[in-house]
Amino acid sequence: MRLIPRLAPAACAELLSVDLTSERVERAPYPLTAARLGGVSVAVELLASAIGGPLDPLSPENPLVFAPGPFAGTAVPAATKHAVATISPLTGRLTDGLSSSHWSGALRRLGLSALIVQGARANWTVLAIDDTGVRFLDGTALLGLSPAQTTQRLREMLGGRHWRVAAIGPAGESGVRFATIDNDGRQAGRGGAGAVMGSKRLKAIALASGTDSAFEIADPERVQTISRALRERALGPDTAKYRVLGTGANLRVLQRMGMLPTRNFSSASFEGAERVTPERAREEPEAYLERRSGCANCPVQCEHMYVRRTRDRKAASASEYESVWAFGPNCGVDDLDAVLDAVGRCDAYGLDTISAGGTIAFAMECAARGLIDVDAFGTPLRFGNAAVLAPAIDAIACGEGLGATLGLGVRAAAEAIGGGAEVLALHVKGLELPGYEPRALPTYALALAVCTRGACHNRAAAYDVDLRNPGQVLPDEARAAAVIDAEDTAIAWDALVLCKFTRHCFDDFWSEGATLWSAVTGEPLDPAGLRDVARRTWQRKRALNEKLGWTPAEDVLPVRLGEPLREGPYAGARIDSASLERQRWIYETLRS
């Protein structure tokens, strides 16, 4: 254990750097200016400045950056969030994720604009940070525990529920490349930040701060007024689908629209969709118990958790669309209970559900083609076999047998399996595809291909352009411009770190977002300035990837998407690689 000098309690703008190898801890001014805002823009700036060239993401040289949103811990609703940035072990490129809730607020209330962790420990360690300093605690006794169990145990060790914990689970410990970092039941999920944390032998970061903000709000009256208005709108029809139904309601709609990726993207329609939709659990209250959950200071509380009434209520699992899709339609499984169990299992292990489901779907297809042992997990590794989900997830998380190969993610697993498995691996830059059908959503398809993070649906949310006008034919220039606008908009949200589920609560996000920033910080910002930060941050993301070895050849979509959909309203739709390349070229021209 080592205690450093007391942190300045009211500082709202300091960077805390922790070198795990040397135990060196430094604090330096790092103000949240209007030129950098917070969250993703700060995390990417710091990461980019710490990296000189290509590196092994699981080496001590890979920094792990946490940056709270500028509104975290304030009255602004749905804004107590933070960004996590590191180099992904799945892609070898930048991964920038978001998480939220009490840990984010504690980070900000400690007076930090960011925390950067570098180096690695010889033994498993916990960082405990409060306003007395940073301590390096032995984390050996926590090995094998889930993030929730780790949180509980650390609170017992450290003495109170006011300790907020971000932790990895067993998957992060064993180096699964799509392991998550969990805090307060929320996850920085995609890209394997949990594996990076595990490679540093860092089991958890525990934060304790006072409950009051350690920073002054520039115009508290204005912030209260804006926050009250946002809160009221967030309790109205603008967020009703998230608040009342949860994102799981997407499943029925995407099935109806013929855009539901099924069986490793071999189809866009799942005959078992109605049996596996989380809405079914909601509509059967006699069979399922529903629990609601959500982030700190968020009126939406979008997380709808379900469990059979015959089971312990603590076994309730989150029913977010992507998670249910990954183990349901994408694996051809129509057993809702098995899917919910798979989601809960991933949360306990600290695994990204999209990558876990995508990897199992890939393995199912490999097994069907005789490339791997169909009985590797004791029950047939076959589309539709609900019983194989649990043993497959267990094996992946623990790195056992075929699970060790699948834990590398589909790109590396396909290389290891060989025999043409590469064409069955649905990924962009190594990150597994999420649950929207790119062949039916051409703007989204371009956004996936060029995304600096790989196949992430949230770094641009460009599917919205397509869904608003299904089947619309856009000129390539307009499509490329729409992707750029969607990317910049998402970056602005992620730099202010506002929950995108509240986007309909703003009449003019650029203007209102800038106003909110100025009211909180006192720093002038107008809509043009907010856009500038977004553009600069995108440039930093691209420049960082270039430093790591990115080339345009990586901005492509999986081979399978070149095959036409065989049925449904988008029958015949396919990704034409020449057309995509033309759009990508226009995108690059517009970006430059």
Residue from the set 285, 471, 524, 572 that interacts with another protein by CB under 8 A? 471
Q: How many CA atoms lie within 13 A of 452 on its CB side?
A: 28
Tell me the closest approach of the beta carbon of residue 533 to another protein, in angstroms.
23
Task: Please tell me whether residue 363 adopts helix, strand or coil conformation.
Answer: helix
In angstroms, give the least distance from the CB of 521 to another protein. Answer: 28
Nearer to another protein, 74 or 323 (CB): 323
Nearest alpha-carbon partner for 117 in 207, 242, 238, 37: 207
CB 468 → another protein: shortest distance, Å? 6
Closest approach of Cβ 67 to another protein, in Å?
A: 22
CB 411 within 8 A of CB 441: no
Shortest CB 424 distance to another protein, Å: 23
Nearer to another protein (CB atom), residue 173 or residue 432: 432
Site for another protein in 560-579 (CB under 8 A): 569
Minimum CB distance to another protein smaller for 136 or for 288: 288
Residue type, 555: D
Alpha-carbon radius of gyration of the chain: 22
- Of 334 and 555, CB closest to another protein: 334
Q: How many residues bind another protein (CB under 8 A)?
A: 37
Residues 183-205 as b/e (b if ≥16 CB within 10 A, e otherwise) read bbbbbbbbbbbbbbbbbbbbbbb
Nearer to another protein among residue 252 and residue 275 (C-beta): 252
- Looking at the Cβ atoms of 103 and 436, the one nearer to another protein is 436
Amino acid (one-letter) located at 83: A
Nearer to another protein (CB atom), residue 252 or residue 291: 252
One of 131, 464, 485, 581 touching another protein (CB under 8 A): 464
Q: Which is nearer to another protein, 256 or 292 (CB)?
A: 256
Work out whether 463 is an interface residue with another protein (CB under 8 A). Answer: yes
Among 500, 536, 542, 574, binds another protein (CB under 8 A): 500
Helix axis angle, 527-547 to 476-496, nearest 10°: 100
Spatial distance between the Cα atoms of 281 and 287, rounded to a whole number of angstroms = 7
Q: How far is the CB of 467 from another protein (least distance, A)?
A: 5
Q: Based on the shown chain and the rule CB under 8 A, indicate whether residue 31 belongs to the binding site for another protein.
A: no
Can you tell me which of 212, 468, 507, 578 binds another protein, judged by CB under 8 A? 468
For residue 366, what are the contacts with CB-CB under 8 A and spacing of at least 6? 372, 417, 421, 424
Q: Residues with Cβ < 8 Å from 24, sequence gap 6 or more? A: 17, 18
Between residue 306 and residue 345, which ones bind another protein under the rule CB under 8 A?
320-323, 325
Q: Sort strands 303-308 and 288-293 into parallel, antiparallel or unpaired.
A: antiparallel
- Tell which positions 214-273 bind another protein, by CB under 8 A: 237, 240-242, 244-245, 247, 249-250, 252-254, 256-258
Binding to another protein by CB under 8 A, coded x per residue (else -) over 384-423, reads: ----------------------------------------
Q: Which two tokens stand for residue 417?
A: 């399996």
Q: Which is nearer to another protein, 501 or 517 (CB)?
A: 501
**Strand 186-188 with 181-183, pairing:** antiparallel
Other CB atoms within 10 Å distance of the CB of residue 1: 7
| Residue 59: partners with Cβ closer than 8 Å, 6 or more residues away | 120, 199
- Work out how close the CB of 434 gets to another protein at its nearest, in angstroms, rounded to a whole number: 7
User: How many angstroms separate the CA atoms of 431 and 417, rounded?
Assistant: 18
Q: Are 524 and 103 in contact (CB under 8 A)?
A: no
Q: Tokens at residue 175, please?
A: 């180096």
Which two three-digit tokens encode residue 485?
Answer: 């606008």
Closest CB 259 distance from another protein, rounded Å: 8
**Nearest residue (CB) to another protein, 237 versus 401:** 237
**CA-to-CA dists, residue 495 to 69, 288, 299, 314, 442, angstroms:** 7, 38, 21, 34, 27
**Which residues lie near another protein (CB under 8 A)?**
237, 240-242, 244-245, 247, 249-250, 252-254, 256-258, 320-323, 325, 434-436, 457-458, 461, 463-464, 467-471, 500-501, 504, 569
